[in-house]
Structure 1
Amino acid sequence: MEKKIRKILQHLPFLILDQRKTRGYSLMHDLRFWNKHKSSMVIFDVGANVGEITNDFCRYLPGSRIYAAEPISETYEKLVDNCKKLKNVIPLNFGFGNKEDELDMYVIEDSKYSSVLDSSFAAKHNHKIEKVKVTTLDSFCSLNGIQEIDILKTDTEGFDLEVLSGGKNLLDKKSIRFIVSEATTLRHKTNNTSFFSLAEFLGGYGYVLTGFYDLVRTEGSHGPIRVTNALFEPYL
């Protein structure tokens, strides 16, 4: 009985949102609503870190097969530990980019801010450099017989365009149904991907913006959007 009550309470906010037909409030709610007729999906969590979003995908989109990519060795170990009870999660100890490569990762204490790009940001913090392996979405999907990605989430501290560039074949075929990438509207913020560059790149493949989620502004409730998760889907 206790488990049943806990499950009802867990899903109660989403049941309320479903009744109100509210969209644009919760990313997980919207993804679940738009995919409610699919019993199984393929999800890529690129820049999975310790698996917080990976666990959310498992919780709200059960039955999905989730590839969680985290190239930093110590963070990857935490990811594996946090997902060890989740049989549908496949942890990957490498990153994705626009070509097969080995890159310098600037690893700082709060690993979610580590990056292969912004050494100036790392210089302001205690950090170390770790060599990490990178492959492409097109190559990985081809080798593993993956024809379609239902949800691609990228959170790579400014490397998101490179990740997407490595999936040009998938994008050409509109074989990625939803793309959610962390982005910024501030042009001087180099440790996040520019939303404008992201929209222009994906627009070239026929993808359009569906919504902004998890807005973080520079001045609390107003001011420019510092960071957001931007959701795109193909417009046919």
Structure 2
Amino acid sequence: MPNLVKDWTARASHQVQKKIGYRFLRTKRFGIDWLDDAARIAREGWHPSFTKLEVVFDVGANIGQTASKLAQRISPKSIYSFEPVQSTFAQLEANTKTLSSVHCLNYGLSDINANSSIHIYESSVYASTCDRTPVMSPENETFLRTETIKLKTLDKVRSELGVEKIDLLKIDTEGADLRTIRGARESLQSKAIGLIVFEFYRPSDLSGTNGTLFPVDETLVSHGYRLVAFYTDHVHPDRSTGIYNALYTPEPE
């Protein structure tokens, strides 16, 4: 009987893929959906201090895409969504106003506590405090303007908000993810942060560290974190960049 079920499942999977282009995947495989994997790691208790995803920092919240997904799929007690660009922040507030767990904050998280400049492009998702990244710069035809924004370190914000620990830290700051990580040094060292997911464009870049994986990996490993999986959102066919995410968790105690 088990073999019959296995054969039927294989045939059904083949038909689905043939007709509509989808195929079944084993749900235990890591690297398909970072939120599924984060919830699984918490549920399985990989680290005793982070067994539930109750407090989330959504850094680079844009117009609330991730906040809405988090609220719908894992229902955290608190989602702190950080968006420094005023016009984008207004959309974030409007899109999450019915989500009681979402707290919108109109500043970014970096490695300084000061005002800074951010480059704005036609698509708000590309706004970045970096002068240039492997995928975007002010020379790009979609560049609109530069604005002044407020930045704070994660360590300072966690103290201001009275947040004891962050179960999930999501960072999407268009090339400046390393700066956000550097601004969380005390929180990382004390293991006040559980799971971390961040975006990058390529493993390394001769022109600098913006939007690259290796410098972030080196920093997180130095604080006792380890890689779990990679997630590919997009790969450019004609240049050596893509849009990827990486999920890290504290080393087992």
Would you call these one fold, judging by a TM-score over 0.5? yes
Contact 2:199 2:211 in 1 (8 A): yes
Taking the aligned partners of 1:101 and 1:157, their CA distance within structure 2 comes to 19
Q: 1:3 maps to what in 2?
A: none
Cα 1:33–1:187 change in 2 (3 A) is same
Q: 1:229 aligns with which of 214, 229, 245?
A: 245
Give the superposed CA RMSD: 2.3
Percent identical among aligned pairs is 31
Number of corresponding residues: 218
How far the C-alpha of 1:215 sits from its partner, in A, is 4.0
- Which stretches in structure 1 are left out of the alignment for 5+ residues? 1-15
Q: Which amino acid aligns with 2:117?
A: D
Contact 2:61 2:81 in 1 (8 A): yes
Q: 1:100 maps to what in 2?
A: 113
Contact 2:119 2:145 in 1 (8 A): yes
Cα 1:92–1:178 change in 2 (3 A) is same
Higher Rg of the two aligned structures: 2
Matched, 1:35 2:42: yes
Q: 2:228 maps to what in 1?
A: 210
Q: Which amino acid aligns with 1:85?
A: T
How far the C-alpha of 1:214 sits from its partner, in A, is 3.0
How far the C-alpha of 1:197 sits from its partner, in A, is 0.9
How far the C-alpha of 1:199 sits from its partner, in A, is 0.6
Matched, 1:173 2:190: yes
Q: TM-score, normalised by structure 1?
A: 0.84
- Which stretches in structure 2 are left out of the alignment for 5+ residues? 1-23, 45-50
Q: TM-score, normalised by structure 2?
A: 0.79
Matched, 1:115 2:128: yes
Q: 2:214 maps to what in 1?
A: 196
How far the C-alpha of 1:143 sits from its partner, in A, is 1.7
Q: Which amino acid aligns with 2:147?
A: E
Taking the aligned partners of 2:225 and 2:143, their CA distance within structure 1 comes to 39
Contact 1:185 1:224 in 2 (8 A): no
After superposition, residues 71-90 of structure 1 pair within 5 angstroms as 71-90=84-103
Q: 2:143 maps to what in 1?
A: 126
Contact 1:98 1:135 in 2 (8 A): yes
How far the C-alpha of 1:185 sits from its partner, in A, is 2.1
More displaced stretch, 70-79 vs 135-144: 135-144
Q: 2:104 maps to what in 1?
A: 91
Contact 1:180 1:229 in 2 (8 A): yes
Q: 2:28 maps to what in 1?
A: 21
